[in-house]
Amino acid sequence: MLKRFALLLAALFTAPLLAQEPPPPVNPLPPPPPAVEYVAMETTLGTITVEIEVERAPVTAANFLRYVDEKRYDGTVFYRAMPLEWGEQPNGLIQAGTQYDPKRTLPPIKHEPTSETGVLHVKGALSMARFAPGTATGDFSIMLQEQPAMDADPASEDPEVRAGFAAFGKVVDGWDVVHAIHAAPTDPDKGEGWMKGQMIADPVKIIRMRRVAAPVSAPPAPPASTDMIGAEAPAAPPPTD
């Protein structure tokens, strides 16, 4: 009898506890953002500050930073501006770099497709200029607007589209300078093939590039204006000099 009574009391006291819902799981802390470095591009029209994806695009970022650290970009120029409305897809870019100068250019690097890095061709993205995948050296472009057609498409049967271009950073400050370079007059007789007319008549000199601390604040990218010059077409050959 006493044993039955004890079991009844135990059931009465434990039932409310069993009815309670388990405590909610503790939310884990969000992962830290990917590591980045910052570089200031000082030009004759002003300074552009860019964020370099050293963690997500390690090969391409390390190559770019080597050019910066060895001062190989000092004295080079922004030499190309592609129109925003060139072709059927969103376009618009400015291009700079060593232009295959043997005294400045390092060996080509391995291609890092956006499908692997996750660094996409958003507005302000930095992307390596190249011929075939794996031929990028010291020339790069800055996107004036989002250009998803430059991202890798692993499902494509076209090797160029499948590879895409290697984006490795983005502009975080100095958009007025980007647009000023993009608006620079081009020479209708300069350039070859489909790039004819995209060469800046008076190229904008890069005085120096240096690593810098993270900017305190970075204003958002202003909307692209259709009265400027510069762009990139997805179906055309890759952007090179």
User: Would residue 23 count as lying in a domain?
Assistant: no
Secondary structure class of 208 (helix, strand, coil): strand
- Domain-located, residue 219: no
Q: Cα–Cα distance between 46 and 42 in angstroms, integer?
A: 6
Query: Does the structure show a pLDDT above 70 at 219?
Result: no
Q: Is residue 17 part of a domain?
A: no
User: 20-73 pLDDT, tens per residue?
Assistant: 666 777 777 888 889 999 999 999 999 999 999 999 999 999 999 999 999 999
Report CA-CA distances (Å) from 221 to 3, 56, 125, 129, 184.
Answer: 77, 22, 11, 22, 19
> Mean pLDDT in the chain?
85
Q: Domain for residue 220, yes or no? A: no
The count of structural domains within the chain is 1
The pLDDT, as a whole number, for residue 97 is: 98
Secondary element (H or E) of residue 115: helix 114-117
Tens digit of each residue's pLDDT (9 = 90 or more) over 95-118: 999 999 999 999 999 999 999 999
Longest dimension (CA), the chain: 108
**Per-residue model confidence (pLDDT) at position 30:** 84
Confidence of residue 223 (pLDDT cuts 50, 70, 90): low
Give the three-class secondary structure for 11: helix
Cα angle 89-167-111, degrees, rounded to a multiple of 5:
110
99, 240 contact by CB (below 8 A): no
Is the predicted pLDDT of residue 5 greater than 90, yes or no? Answer: no
Q: Which residue pairs from 225-229 have beta carbons closer than 8 angstroms and sit at least 24 positions apart in sequence?
A: 225/84, 225/179, 226/84, 226/85, 227/183, 228/84, 228/92, 228/144, 228/179, 228/182, 228/183, 229/81, 229/82, 229/83, 229/84, 229/182, 229/183, 229/184, 229/185, 229/186
Confidence of residue 236 (pLDDT cuts 50, 70, 90): very low
Lowest mean pLDDT among 25-29, 170-174, 215-219: 215-219
**What are the start-end ranges of the E strands in 53-173?**
77-82, 93-97, 125-128, 139-143, 167-173
| Domain assignment of residue 62, yes or no | yes
Name the residue with tokens 């043997």: 102
Within-domain flag for 153: yes
CATH number of the CATH domain containing 192: 2.40.100.10
* Domain range for 181: 34-212
